[in-house]
Structure 1
């Protein structure tokens, strides 16, 4: 399945959660699933519960099913618990770091900044959104794009705080990776174990 490009608030309503990386808009005006029967109560099957958790992660981070499956395989090979490692790998993506540092309103906006060559790692341009940051690296916005609309709008967003594993200097438009993220770093409610169970039958 390709990367999602449809209505963002609609999909958040369907999943029952706000995904800050997908959209800066809120679902509070209509906090129920879309459609004629959106407000009707219905019990989800075990499969539906696991699929929903997987979709939350896939859509928030803007991944394809293949990309998420590859990350899950890597997480399972790690010495850490698979769920913890999966969240670490997702959070360390460069497009997510730009978003979490506050230099873009959403991950799609951050991905565009990276892909267009406006992001530097330790002073060198990196244009790969999936680049995985490591401890000690400094991520910054290029001098020419410090006051780009995407960056200014990201810094104006007040409902997101930078995670503790990033040391952010908003004035300098840079962030240093002070530690590796863990399962508490994810900015929305998620049942990681259900994602593990979803893939346990498919890998």
Structure 2
């Protein structure tokens, strides 16, 4: 399954949640599903509830279904609780680090910066958004990257406040990982147990 490239606000309305990694837009008064019958109350099935929680992760982090399944398998093999480990793995992606550091307005924009080699990881040019970050890792934008409008605007006004698991040096425009992200620091509401139950019968 390929990555979603359609209307982002429509996705957030369907899921009933604002996803900062997907879009900076707010649901505002339209906090109901899109479509002709969106404002009518609709009872969700148990499967529907679990699917929504899984889709929140997929769209916020901009992953394909196969990528999330691969991370779930890795989380399941861990000694830590599967749900918490899955969230840690998602938050530990390089493109998410670029976004949470305030270098890009969304995770999608952060992936583009990484893909086009505008991000230096520990002083080296990289172009793989899925690289796993570790404590002590640092990122900076290249001179060319800092001149990109979306990056320049995001540095002035980040989409989210920077999390406690990274430190930011404004003078050097450098972000450093101080510790691994915690599951409680995910910037949107998600019932991770529903995600675990969704995949438990499918993987």
TM-score grouping bracket, smaller chain normalisation: over 0.9
Query: The residue matched to 1:60 in structure 2 has which SS?
Result: helix
Cross-structure match for 2:135: 135
Q: Runs (4+) of structure 1 moved beyond 4 Å?
A: none
Cross-structure match for 1:31: 31
TM-score, normalised via structure 1 length: 0.97
Cross-structure match for 1:89: 89
Shift of 1:155: 2.0
Cross-structure match for 1:172: 172
Separation in 2 of the partners of 1:159 and 1:73?
31
Q: CA RMSD in A?
A: 1.1
Contact 2:20 2:159 in 1 (8 A): no
Aligned 1:13-32 pairs, distance under 5 A: 13-32=13-32
Aligned 1:139-158 pairs, distance under 5 A: 139-157=139-157
Instruction: Report the count of equivalent residues.
Output: 203
Contiguous gaps of at least 5 residues in structure 1: none
After superposition, the C-alpha distances for 1:115-159 in whole angstroms (9 at most, x for unaligned) are 001111111111101011101111111133223212112124355
Cross-structure match for 1:163: 163
Shift of 1:169: 2.0
Separation in 1 of the partners of 2:174 and 2:148?
14
Distance 1:115 1:159, change over 3 A: closer
Separation in 2 of the partners of 1:147 and 1:17?
32
TM-score, normalised via structure 2 length: 0.97
